[in-house]
Amino acid sequence: MKAQTILTIFFSTFIVLTFPIFGLAQEATKVKLPAPKINGGKPLMQTLNERKTSREFSPKPISDQTLSNLLWAAFGVNRPDGRRTAPSAKNMQEIDIYVAKSDGVYVYDAYENTLKIVIKEDLRALTGAQPFVKDAPINLIYVADLSKMKGLSSENINLYSAADTGFISENVYLFCASEGLATVIRGSVGRAALSKALGFGPDKKIILAQTVGYPKE
């Protein structure tokens, strides 16, 4: 067999075997969520009546379907023009939702309805000072992307990012009340340590965190 033929077979085999591996590795960087179920739930007035803060959580995991519904309610896309379920000052959509679970931390992509892997490490204990955060199934971290807020004064950056986080977190409260889940919004976050663990630069600012899970029985 000629040397040129041998080389052709070698490189063809290399490409066939290697590229699927690269493809799988790329796909493994994100998790596709089930389509959110946007029908049903309790009536609005009943949900408002049952809205409350809880600080005791069962370690029972939350299904991907429930998580998809939760994230869509929080800040999903609800119109063809790409606008969202929560208000956003100047439509900057500067708040990213990071999801801390036992198997890692992910960031929610509302347009693709995916969770993009940030780090495959359990960082729940870094999301707050309260003891329950390390065992609750979900800790949401609200992070302002300051690169989307260029040209604003420091005062308005603080105002808008805080207000927009408040809108999102209240959507989470209402979803939890409707679905029988427990939740609490938290300002006590180890921002410096968590930002370092997540590899954040100066354009990423942690605003608040919110724990979600089933009520402790």
Please give the pLDDT value at position 38.
94
Return d(Cα 127, Cα 47) in angstroms, integer.
Answer: 27
Please give the pLDDT value at position 2.
52
Please give the pLDDT value at position 67.
98
- The class that CATH gives domain 33-213 is alpha beta
Please give the pLDDT value at position 217.
82
pLDDT along the chain (217 residues), means of 10: 46 41 53 95 96 96 98 97 97 98 97 97 96 96 97 97 98 98 96 97 98 94
